Amino acid sequence: MTQTSPLDSEAQKASRGRPRLAPEDSSTRQNLIKAGLEHLTEKGYSAVGIDEILKAAGVPKGSFYHHFRNKADFGLALVAAYNDYFIQLLDRDFIQEARAPLDRLKDFIERAEQGMARHGFRRGCLVGNLGQEMGALPDDFRAALIGALEAWQVRTADVFRQAQAEGALGSDQDPDTLAEAFWIGWEGAVLRAKLELRPDPLRRFAKTFFRLIEN
Protein backbone atom coordinates (compact mmCIF):
# COMPACT_ATOMS: atom_id res chain seq x y z
CA MET A 1 0.00 0.00 0.00
CA THR A 2 1.31 3.44 -0.91
CA GLN A 3 2.05 5.59 2.13
CA THR A 4 0.67 9.09 2.16
CA SER A 5 3.35 11.74 2.25
CA PRO A 6 3.15 14.25 5.11
CA LEU A 7 3.05 16.97 2.50
CA ASP A 8 0.04 15.31 0.85
CA SER A 9 -1.89 15.35 4.12
CA GLU A 10 -0.90 18.94 4.85
CA ALA A 11 -1.94 20.26 1.45
CA GLN A 12 -5.27 21.61 2.60
CA LYS A 13 -3.68 23.41 5.54
CA ALA A 14 -1.01 25.07 3.41
CA SER A 15 -3.25 27.54 1.63
CA ARG A 16 -3.25 30.14 4.42
CA GLY A 17 -0.36 32.43 5.15
CA ARG A 18 1.83 31.03 2.39
CA PRO A 19 4.17 33.35 0.45
CA ARG A 20 3.37 34.22 -3.13
CA LEU A 21 4.21 31.36 -5.48
CA ALA A 22 7.67 31.47 -7.02
CA PRO A 23 8.07 32.33 -10.72
CA GLU A 24 7.26 29.56 -13.18
CA ASP A 25 10.74 29.71 -14.69
CA SER A 26 12.57 29.08 -11.40
CA SER A 27 15.08 26.23 -11.52
CA THR A 28 13.58 24.57 -8.44
CA ARG A 29 10.14 24.50 -10.04
CA GLN A 30 11.56 23.06 -13.24
CA ASN A 31 13.40 20.35 -11.30
CA LEU A 32 10.15 19.41 -9.58
CA ILE A 33 8.32 19.31 -12.92
CA LYS A 34 11.02 17.11 -14.46
CA ALA A 35 10.98 14.67 -11.56
CA GLY A 36 7.19 14.64 -11.52
CA LEU A 37 6.95 13.82 -15.21
CA GLU A 38 9.45 10.99 -14.88
CA HIS A 39 7.63 9.41 -11.95
CA LEU A 40 4.03 9.92 -13.07
CA THR A 41 4.57 8.66 -16.62
CA GLU A 42 5.79 5.43 -15.04
CA LYS A 43 3.74 5.03 -11.86
CA GLY A 44 0.74 7.34 -12.12
CA TYR A 45 -0.58 10.04 -9.80
CA SER A 46 -2.00 8.05 -6.91
CA ALA A 47 1.05 5.81 -6.47
CA VAL A 48 3.55 8.66 -6.14
CA GLY A 49 3.89 10.73 -2.99
CA ILE A 50 5.34 14.22 -2.84
CA ASP A 51 8.27 13.00 -0.74
CA GLU A 52 9.34 10.74 -3.60
CA ILE A 53 9.27 13.68 -6.01
CA LEU A 54 11.20 15.91 -3.64
CA LYS A 55 13.90 13.29 -3.18
CA ALA A 56 14.27 12.76 -6.94
CA ALA A 57 14.38 16.52 -7.58
CA GLY A 58 16.81 17.22 -4.74
CA VAL A 59 14.42 19.81 -3.32
CA PRO A 60 13.76 20.29 0.43
CA LYS A 61 10.24 19.83 1.75
CA GLY A 62 9.86 23.43 2.72
CA SER A 63 10.29 24.58 -0.88
CA PHE A 64 7.37 22.68 -2.39
CA TYR A 65 4.65 25.13 -1.34
CA HIS A 66 6.64 28.07 -2.66
CA HIS A 67 5.97 26.61 -6.10
CA PHE A 68 2.67 24.70 -5.87
CA ARG A 69 -0.43 25.09 -3.73
CA ASN A 70 -0.86 21.35 -3.20
CA LYS A 71 -0.41 18.02 -4.95
CA ALA A 72 -3.38 18.66 -7.25
CA ASP A 73 -1.90 22.00 -8.35
CA PHE A 74 1.37 20.20 -8.99
CA GLY A 75 -0.42 17.54 -11.04
CA LEU A 76 -2.13 20.12 -13.21
CA ALA A 77 1.21 21.85 -13.78
CA LEU A 78 2.60 18.51 -14.93
CA VAL A 79 -0.25 18.08 -17.40
CA ALA A 80 0.41 21.56 -18.82
CA ALA A 81 4.17 20.93 -19.07
CA TYR A 82 3.65 17.54 -20.68
CA ASN A 83 1.19 18.99 -23.17
CA ASP A 84 3.66 21.73 -24.15
CA TYR A 85 6.41 19.14 -24.57
CA PHE A 86 4.20 16.78 -26.57
CA ILE A 87 3.00 19.51 -28.92
CA GLN A 88 6.64 20.27 -29.70
CA LEU A 89 7.16 16.60 -30.56
CA LEU A 90 4.15 16.60 -32.86
CA ASP A 91 5.09 19.85 -34.54
CA ARG A 92 8.64 18.61 -35.15
CA ASP A 93 7.30 15.82 -37.36
CA PHE A 94 4.08 17.35 -38.66
CA ILE A 95 5.68 20.45 -40.22
CA GLN A 96 8.20 18.50 -42.29
CA GLU A 97 6.91 19.54 -45.71
CA ALA A 98 9.51 17.43 -47.50
CA ARG A 99 7.69 14.36 -46.16
CA ALA A 100 4.29 13.15 -47.37
CA PRO A 101 1.60 14.01 -44.79
CA LEU A 102 0.86 10.44 -43.69
CA ASP A 103 4.59 9.71 -43.51
CA ARG A 104 4.89 12.53 -40.98
CA LEU A 105 2.44 10.74 -38.71
CA LYS A 106 4.37 7.51 -39.22
CA ASP A 107 7.55 9.36 -38.26
CA PHE A 108 5.91 10.48 -35.03
CA ILE A 109 4.87 6.89 -34.27
CA GLU A 110 8.41 5.65 -34.87
CA ARG A 111 9.89 8.32 -32.61
CA ALA A 112 7.32 7.57 -29.91
CA GLU A 113 8.25 3.89 -29.98
CA GLN A 114 11.92 4.79 -29.70
CA GLY A 115 11.11 7.02 -26.73
CA MET A 116 9.27 4.24 -24.92
CA ALA A 117 12.06 1.77 -25.75
CA ARG A 118 14.65 4.03 -24.10
CA HIS A 119 12.83 3.47 -20.82
CA GLY A 120 12.13 -0.21 -21.31
CA PHE A 121 8.47 0.52 -22.12
CA ARG A 122 7.88 1.33 -18.45
CA ARG A 123 6.87 4.94 -19.10
CA GLY A 124 3.67 5.72 -20.92
CA CYS A 125 1.71 8.84 -21.78
CA LEU A 126 1.01 11.10 -18.81
CA VAL A 127 -2.38 12.11 -20.23
CA GLY A 128 -3.33 8.47 -20.79
CA ASN A 129 -2.09 7.45 -17.35
CA LEU A 130 -4.07 10.16 -15.60
CA GLY A 131 -7.13 9.42 -17.70
CA GLN A 132 -7.05 5.90 -16.26
CA GLU A 133 -7.06 7.41 -12.76
CA MET A 134 -9.74 10.05 -13.37
CA GLY A 135 -12.10 8.54 -10.81
CA ALA A 136 -9.58 9.32 -8.08
CA LEU A 137 -8.48 12.75 -9.32
CA PRO A 138 -9.92 16.22 -8.67
CA ASP A 139 -12.43 17.12 -11.37
CA ASP A 140 -10.21 19.97 -12.62
CA PHE A 141 -8.03 17.32 -14.24
CA ARG A 142 -10.81 16.29 -16.59
CA ALA A 143 -10.83 19.52 -18.57
CA ALA A 144 -7.02 19.67 -18.62
CA LEU A 145 -6.69 16.14 -20.00
CA ILE A 146 -9.44 16.59 -22.59
CA GLY A 147 -7.89 19.90 -23.64
CA ALA A 148 -4.53 18.23 -24.23
CA LEU A 149 -6.05 15.45 -26.32
CA GLU A 150 -8.05 17.95 -28.36
CA ALA A 151 -4.91 19.99 -29.06
CA TRP A 152 -3.18 16.88 -30.37
CA GLN A 153 -6.22 15.97 -32.45
CA VAL A 154 -6.33 19.40 -34.11
CA ARG A 155 -2.75 19.00 -35.32
CA THR A 156 -3.37 15.45 -36.49
CA ALA A 157 -6.52 16.47 -38.35
CA ASP A 158 -4.47 19.07 -40.23
CA VAL A 159 -2.13 16.29 -41.38
CA PHE A 160 -5.10 14.28 -42.61
CA ARG A 161 -6.45 17.31 -44.49
CA GLN A 162 -3.11 17.71 -46.23
CA ALA A 163 -3.10 14.00 -47.09
CA GLN A 164 -6.61 14.39 -48.48
CA ALA A 165 -5.53 17.30 -50.65
CA GLU A 166 -2.73 15.18 -52.07
CA GLY A 167 -5.02 12.24 -52.79
CA ALA A 168 -3.51 9.91 -50.18
CA LEU A 169 -6.75 9.95 -48.20
CA GLY A 170 -10.23 9.52 -49.60
CA SER A 171 -12.49 12.57 -49.92
CA ASP A 172 -15.17 10.69 -47.99
CA GLN A 173 -12.99 10.62 -44.88
CA ASP A 174 -13.55 13.16 -42.11
CA PRO A 175 -10.12 14.37 -40.88
CA ASP A 176 -11.44 15.39 -37.47
CA THR A 177 -13.07 12.01 -36.88
CA LEU A 178 -9.95 10.21 -38.06
CA ALA A 179 -7.79 12.28 -35.71
CA GLU A 180 -10.01 11.44 -32.76
CA ALA A 181 -9.99 7.75 -33.72
CA PHE A 182 -6.21 7.80 -34.02
CA TRP A 183 -5.70 9.17 -30.51
CA ILE A 184 -8.26 6.86 -28.95
CA GLY A 185 -6.46 3.90 -30.51
CA TRP A 186 -2.95 5.20 -29.94
CA GLU A 187 -3.48 5.79 -26.23
CA GLY A 188 -4.77 2.24 -25.91
CA ALA A 189 -1.75 0.93 -27.81
CA VAL A 190 0.63 2.85 -25.53
CA LEU A 191 -1.10 1.43 -22.46
CA ARG A 192 -0.83 -2.10 -23.88
CA ALA A 193 2.84 -1.61 -24.80
CA LYS A 194 3.53 -0.47 -21.25
CA LEU A 195 1.67 -3.48 -19.91
CA GLU A 196 3.54 -5.96 -22.12
CA LEU A 197 6.88 -4.10 -21.97
CA ARG A 198 7.33 -4.41 -25.73
CA PRO A 199 6.58 -2.42 -28.92
CA ASP A 200 4.25 -4.93 -30.62
CA PRO A 201 0.96 -3.21 -29.65
CA LEU A 202 2.20 0.08 -31.12
CA ARG A 203 3.18 -1.58 -34.35
CA ARG A 204 -0.04 -3.56 -34.68
CA PHE A 205 -2.15 -0.49 -34.12
CA ALA A 206 -0.20 1.60 -36.63
CA LYS A 207 -0.28 -1.12 -39.29
CA THR A 208 -4.02 -1.62 -38.90
CA PHE A 209 -4.85 2.09 -38.77
CA PHE A 210 -2.96 3.00 -41.94
CA ARG A 211 -4.24 -0.06 -43.79
CA LEU A 212 -7.78 1.09 -43.09
CA ILE A 213 -7.38 4.73 -44.13
CA GLU A 214 -4.84 4.85 -46.97
CA ASN A 215 -6.02 4.86 -50.58
**Distance, CA of 61 to CA of 162 (rounded, Å):** 50
User: In terms of Cα–Cα distance, which of 71, 11, 15 is closest to 44?
Assistant: 71
Q: In the chain, what percentage of residues exceed pLDDT 90?
A: 83
**Those residues with Cβ within 8 angstroms of residue 17's Cβ, 6 or more apart along the chain or in another chain:** none
Q: What is the pTM of this model?
A: 0.85
Residue pLDDT, tens place only, 93-116 = 999 999 999 999 999 999 999 999
100 three-state secondary structure = coil
User: In terms of Cα–Cα distance, which of 121, 102, 107 is closest to 173?
Assistant: 102
Largest CA distance in the chain: 62
Query: Could you tell me the pLDDT band of residue 38, with boundaries at 50, 70 and 90?
Result: very high
**Those residues with Cβ within 8 angstroms of residue 130's Cβ, 6 or more apart along the chain or in another chain:** 40, 44, 45, 75, 79, 137, 141, 145
Residue pLDDT, tens place only, 157-183 = 999 999 999 999 999 999 999 999 999
Mean pLDDT of 56-74: 90
**Distance, CA of 92 to CA of 131 (rounded, Å):** 25
Residue 67 has pLDDT above 80, yes or no: yes
Q: So what's the pLDDT on residue 25?
A: 59
Q: What rounded mean pLDDT belongs to the chain?
A: 90
169 three-state secondary structure = strand
Q: So what's the pLDDT on residue 63?
A: 85
**Domains (range + CATH), the chain:** 18-213 (1.10.357.10)
Residue 5 has pLDDT above 70, yes or no: no
Q: So what's the pLDDT on residue 8?
A: 47
- Residue 38 belongs to what H/E stretch? helix 27-43
Q: So what's the pLDDT on residue 62?
A: 80
Is residue 154 within 8 A of residue 90, CB to CB? The reply is no
